[in-house]
Structures are given as structure tokens and as C-alpha cells.
A and B are shown apart, each in its own frame.
Chain A
Amino acid sequence: MIEAVGLTKRYGAKTAVYNLSFQVRPGAVTGFLGPNGSGKSTTMRMILGLDNPTSGQVTIGGFPYRKLPNAPRQVGALLDAKAVHGGRHARNHLLCLAQLSGIPARRVDEVLGVVGLQDVAKKRSKGFSLGMGQRLGIAAALLGDPQVLLFDEPVNGLDPEGILWVRNLMKALAAEGRTVFVSSHLMSEMALTADHLIVIGRGQLLADQNIKDFISHNSADFARVRTPETEPQQREKLTAALTEAGGQVLPEQDGALRVMGLALPRISDLAHSADVRLWELSPHQASLEEAYMRMTQGSVDYRSTIDQKAGLQQELPPGAMPPPQLAVAGQGQPGWYAPPPPQQGGQPFAMPQGAPQAGPYGAPGTPGAPGAADVNPYAQPAPQAPAQPPVAPPAPAAPATPDLTKPEDAR
């Protein structure tokens, strides 16, 4: 159990963490999310007694970290995969850590086997890839069979096999009744691993809740209903029937309807009794990424923008026209990440301004698409697109870069 009370850390004028209070309970994987520079690592360092809080305190099992009688036997931590002396080989690195807390040397060989580094145990860690470094760090965290585990970005640089392993490892550790606290930028990974989320932005607590609650609190789940496009009166009839039954109905750009507040079978029943045929009835559940983006939108410190390449261009002679800018729906635009909550009203699900009609991938211009967006019932409406924004978002990029130097065949 990790317990933070009013944790605050200031570096000069900058406040990295402000009045943070939370509990990380045993028996569950708790995800720790926040944009870059939001204070995640600072919080982790304060939990581990590396940084002293300006005010407030954090305890593990009731003790401040620096008062623990044998820290590695109670808390295992992976802070930074490269926080090793590169000139020392893997086994000696773990051995010196084991000796520091009276753990026998045979346990070192055991954890090397667990993380799959036994073949490179006598190689200097300088030559390790990021993924191998992560495995070494995880080995160090597991060394003392601790009750509480902290991982800062554990899957960075791991290959798909490693990611799957870490996911299962964390779940298994939590299932044994340990406290597992994991920070990550990989939303897809967090969605699969974490049971509970703590989200911070600009050093302050944004959310501390169950992952399911988090998603449904911070995004709009809805059902998409499509009636035959040849008969617009059917659509109106259905809208009236659904509204009467207590649902909230919003039209979509391409003729579909967004229905909130009614279950799918109920919508089907209502359509049936109103004698309306349905072409589509699909559930839309927001992803963790959408919910997260939505929540942290206001507290992102480092925001990427579209590269205008203006610094490379020669100055145009007077009178010349600048080359036309392609209109691309992108991260900078409002409402890009996720649909606004249903309460806001208006036309919340309209396309982002300036976007081509059928989403950011330019569907209307596609040659051979008959009638373009209008008659394509499977066209992706814009609000779904944020799951894969074209301008590299932090989340989906990393799992696509598998670690080519797997330890199994590295040497």
C-alpha cells in the first residue's frame, strides 16, 4: 500500500507536483498516467525517497521509504532502464544490489532466468538494447520478492513478446496480492493491464478511479444507428420514437444517428415497433486513449504542432503565391481527440473544421468510391479517427517498434 498525502515538490519557481494525495492498494495493477512533464517521475522518485518532498509525505506500508529496514525486500522498483553502470556485466550489477540487502547470489541467477537474460549475464550492460535494459531493470525489481512494485514505463523498448510478458507478469504480481504501480504512456497497454487509474496533469491529481469508470466518465459511449438512406422519413420516425423512450439522439454528418442513454436491444425493439428497418446498429465504446486525451487536453505542457517547414523555404518574390497548404485534420484542432460529452449540446459530433467530409484519410477524394461519403454506410465518421491520428501520437507508436535484438538471439 502506497499512500501519498499532500505531496508537493517545487524546483525553484516551478512546481512539479502540487498537493497530490492518493492511495495505491494491494491486489490490483494501478496505472499512473499523465502527459510529459506532468510530474509522474518526480512522484515516483519521491515515493522511493530519492527526492525529498517540499511538503506532504508519502509512505509505503506506513513507513517513509528511507525508514524501511530492508527496502529491496519490501519495495521493488524499475525507474530507468539505463540507470546502470554500463561497464559492469548484468550478473554483477544484480549481485551488488542483492548483496546490499542480504539476498543470496543464487537468487540473482534465478531472476536472470525469469527475465530471460541468462545467456547475456556475463555481458556488459553497455551493449544492451533498451529492451534488454528494461528486462535487467525488471530483474532488479523482482530480486527481493517485494510486496510493493513500482514500474516507470516498463514496456518501453520491449519486443511484442516482452510486452505480453510484462502485462501478464504485472497481472500475476497483483493477483498474488502485491501492490503494483505502473506508469506508462501506452494507453492500449494500460487499458489491458491496469485495474485502477491515477491520472495527473501539471502535477495535480485529475482522476483516481476504476478504469471502467474512468472511461465512461470521460467519454461518451453511444450506439450508432443507421436507417435506409433512401427513406428519410424513417429516420425521423425513429428519432421521435427513441427520444420518446428517453434516449438522446444526435444526427451524424453522414446520415447516421448517435443514440445515447438506450441499450442496443432496446433500440432494436423500439425500431421494430415503430416499423423502421435498420441498416446499422453498432455499439461505440470510447477507448482509454480517447478518455485520457480528453481529460488531459487542458494540461498538456508540450504540444506538438504541424510542421510548416517555413524555416526551410526561401522567401518568395513579391507577388508570388505561396504554395497551397493541404487541409489535414490534425492534433491541433479542437475536438480532435474525442467527442465532447453529450451535455454540451450543439453539434458536438460535427466534423472538425476544414476537414474533408469523410474523415482525415481523404475518403471523398478516393477514386472509384461511388458517391463518396454519402452512400457509403461504413464510412468512418470523424470522431472515431482519433484512435489513430496521422501525426504521431505518443501512444500507438511504441508497440509498433519491436525490439530487434531479442535476448534469445542477441549473442
Chain B
Amino acid sequence: MSTPPPPMPQQAAAAPTWQAAPGTSYSSPIPVTRTHLGHALTSEWTKIKSVRSTLWTLGIFLLLVVGIGFLVAAQTQDADFSDVPYTIPAFFGLILGQICLITLGVLVVSSEYGTGMIRTTFTASPQRHRVLTAKLIIFFAVAFTVSVFSIGLVGLMTSAMHSGSSNVSWGGTVVKGALYVSLLGVLSLAVGSMLRHSAGAITTMLGVVLVPAILPAFLMLSQSMRTIGEKMQEYAAPNALARVFALDNENGGGGAQLGLLAGVTAAAIAGAYVLLERRDV
């Protein structure tokens, strides 16, 4: 840096000294309170209800589950329900409807990365884990409520149309079915948080759902791979849902499948938390 030329009087007069104001630091008259998870939950609730992707995905989910459920219920006879629960028509809708929840789960977090909103969010709440926790809770609550409502509606509709033909209790299938698709959505949210890219995360999740359903057909061809293929088929998402809805009664109502999904989801959530704290936004 060059040494300064001798200052001219006309500029020396105008030079203010910014150091002249130390200790006059501003503090807001309104007391600053410590934030907690409750704040993040209300914020995430505002977020999820104020974007159209929520309306679209949940609207289509309802349409698929209730619509297909109604069509199936209308096309079946009373005798078809002799040893299956009344919620069985919802199963067909859920096979497609789960994709809506996967999409919403991914979008809840990845849309923030896509738009840059995440930087605003993490500036407003540098406690990143709290934001992710709030997202997981709010999304799970919304997805679970909507799927319980739709599966329950299909169950009620079917029982009204084919009254007295089934003696299998169907209350448990409503909860387990809703839990299964909601967990799939939560897994998507965790995957979305790790991949930070909408299309990438949705495609990954479709792979997770579809590959175990299709791959066994090829694995079965070879003798050595046969057991792997059978296991994969047993735990593939469509099959797991079928177990949950007691289409296949001998294998205990899909408890193992739900357990596996819960385990995978927990692992993904743990991964999401670790990456969230480490990575730059």
C-alpha cells in the first residue's frame, strides 16, 4: 500500500471517525427468548400447508386410494370378503398412492434445497437438527392422518356395500397400512435430505420400492440366487402391503415387513442427521 499524500484541508474537515461510537450497541427492547422444537413445528406446519405440492400429492393420493377402493368395492361380491378385511380395496389404491407420499416426503425437504430456501431456513434456525426433526414429525403426522382417513373411508364404504359378509376385524389394517405408507414417506424425506435433489431422491425411492418387486423374477432363474430372490420378494413394498392387508394370512400380518421398513427408515434418518450437521448448505 502506498503512503498517503499529505491530506488537503477540504477533505480533512469532512472525515468522520467511525470508532467514535463504541459501546453504543443496540439491543432490542423486546426480550429475546430461547427457541425450541415447538417453534420449529409451527413453522414447518405453516410451510407444509402453504405450498401447492402438498395439495397436489395428497389430493392425488386421496383420489387414488378412495377412487380405486370404491371401484374395487363396487366390482366385488359379498362372498369375496368372507376371509379378508373390508379394507382390502384400499390396498390396490395404496400400491399407486404410496408414490404420492414418496414424492411429498422428498419435496418437503428437497424443494428447500432446490429453491435455496434452505439457506434462509438455516439462517433463521442454525439448529439444523431441530428443523429436520420438525419436518419429520409434521410430515409423518400429515401422511399418517391422511392415509388413516382414506383407508378408513374405504373400509367403511366397503363394509356398507357388503355388510355382514366379512368377519375379519379391519381396524388393525387401517393403522398398519397407514403406518407402512407413512414410513415409506418418512424414508423418502430422509433420503431427500441426504441427496438434496428432488428428481434424484424420487428416482432413488422408486428404485427402492420397485426393484425388489421386479428383480426376484430374474434372481429366481438361477438356483444359487433363489433364496435371495425369495427374501427380496417377501419384503418388497407391494408384497409387504399385501401382507399388511392380510391377503396372505399365514405370515402374520406384515409385522416383519413393517419392522424392516422401520429399521431402514431409522438408519436413513440417522444418516440424514449426521450429514446435515457436517455439510455446508
Q: Which residues of A contact B17 (CB under 8 A)?
A: 210
The stretch from B36-44, B186-194, B224-232, B266-274 touching chain A is B36-44
Closest to A143 in B: B124
Please indicate which of the listed interface residues A27, A84, A100, A217 has the most CB atoms of chain B within 10 Å of its own CB: A100
Structural contact, B50 and A25, CB atoms closer than 8 A? no
Contact B123 A50 (CB under 8 A): yes
Q: Determine whether A224 belongs to the interface, using a CB cutoff of 8 Å to chain B.
A: no
- Contact call B30/A85, Cβ cutoff below 8 A: no
Partner of B121, one of A100, A102, A343: A100
Report A48-90 residues with CB < 8 Å from chain B CB: 48-52, 65-75, 77, 79-80, 82-89
For this complex, into which size category does the number of interface residues on chain B fall?
35 or more
Main secondary structure of the interface of B (DSSP, over half): loop
B165 at the interface (CB under 8 A from A): no
The answer to whether B125 and A100 have CB atoms under 8 Å apart is: yes
**Which of A172-225 touch B at CB < 8 Å?**
176-179, 195-196, 207, 210, 212-213, 216-218, 220-221, 223
For B278, the chain A residues whose CB sits under 8 A away are 52
The residues of A that contact B28 with a CB separation of less than 8 Å are: 73, 144-147
Q: Please count the residue pairs between chain A and chain B whose beta carbons lie under 8 angstroms apart in the complex.
A: 184
Residue of A27, A51, A285 ringed by the most chain B CB atoms within 10 A? A27
Those of A91-142 within 8 Å (CB) of chain B: 92, 95-97, 99-102, 140
By a CB distance below 8 angstroms, the chain A residues around B250 are none
Report the minimum CB–CB distance from B256 to chain A (whole Å).
Answer: 39
- If A87-B53, A145-B30, A283-B10 touch, whether A260 touches B5 (CB-CB below 8 Å) is yes
In the bound complex, CA of A96 to CA of B131 (Å): 12
Are the CB atoms of A100 and B40 closer together than 8 Å? yes
Does chain B have a CB within 8 A of A342? Answer: yes
* Chain B residue contacts of A263, Cβ below 8 A: 8-10
Q: How far is the CA of A176 from the CA of B21 in the complex (A)?
A: 10
Interface contact A218-B53, CB-CB below 8 Å: no
**Contact assessment for A49 and B126 in the assembled complex, using a CB-CB cutoff below 8 Å:** yes
Nearest-CB residue, chain A, relative to B127:
A66
Question: For residues 14 through 60 of chain B, which have their beta carbon under 8 Å from a beta carbon of chain A?
Answer: 14-19, 21-22, 24-28, 30, 32-35, 39-40, 42-44, 46-47, 50-53
Which residue in A1, A207, A218, A221 is a CB contact (below 8 Å) of B8? A221
The answer to the question of A264 belonging to the interface, with a C-beta cut-off of 8 Å to chain B, is: yes
- Measured CA separation A250–B54 after assembly (Å): 72
In this complex, the member of A50, A176, A223 whose beta carbon has the largest number of chain B beta carbons within 10 angstroms is A50
In the complex formed, the residue of A with least CB distance to B279 is: A52
Bound: A79/B278 CA distance, A: 21
Closest 8 A-B residue pairs measured CB to CB?
A: A27-B21, A83-B116, A177-B26, A92-B50, A99-B43, A66-B126, A341-B2, A51-B280
Give 9 A-B pairs besides A51-B280, A83-B115, A99-B46 with Cβ atoms closer than 8 angstroms.
Answer: A50-B122, A70-B34, A83-B116, A85-B117, A99-B43, A100-B121, A147-B26, A260-B6, A263-B9
By a beta-carbon cutoff of 8 Å, the part of chain A in contact with chain B is 1, 25-28, 45, 48-52, 65-75, 77, 79-80, 82-89, 92, 95-97, 99-102, 140, 144-147, 176-179, 195-196, 207, 210, 212-213, 216-218, 220-221, 223, 260-261, 263-264, 283, 285, 341-343
